[in-house]
């Protein structure tokens, strides 16, 4: 009687372990297919996250604004003194 109970327990335990393994594998398979469909979901470009893209765009806007200000000053020749004065100038 003791041997029969021990055998049925081991069979039940093996069945439960098999069910747990089979369930774990099926959910893992879904996660694996999800990963294979989009391995880098947080990347916008080949190597940049959304924060990286926003940082680069902010840097570009800042540099463009400063270059525009410098060009505006060059347009109005405010980067050097006027030459329309009768006094000598260093320029």
Model confidence over 7-22: pLDDT tens digits?
777 788 887 777 666 6
Q: What is the CA radius of gyration of the chain?
A: 36
The pLDDT value given to residue 1: 47
Mean pLDDT (whole number) for 35-40? 74
Confidence check: pLDDT of 32 > 60: yes
Q: What is the pLDDT of residue 28?
A: 57
Cα 79 from chain centre: 42
CB 44 within 8 A of CB 54: no
Q: Residue 60 has what pLDDT? A: 96
- The residue with tokens 């055998």 is 7
């Amino acid at each position: 009687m003791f041997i029969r109970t021990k055998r049925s327990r081991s069979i039940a335990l093996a069945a439960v372990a098999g069910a747990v393994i089979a369930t774990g594998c099926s959910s893992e398979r879904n996660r694996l297919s999800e990963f294979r469909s989009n391995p880098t979901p947080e990347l916008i470009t080949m190597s940049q996250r959304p924060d990286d893209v926003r940082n680069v765009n902010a840097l570009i806007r800042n540099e463009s604004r400063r270059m525009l200000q410098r060009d505006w000053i060059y347009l109005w020749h405010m980067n050097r003194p006027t030459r329309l004065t009768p006094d000598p100038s260093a320029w």
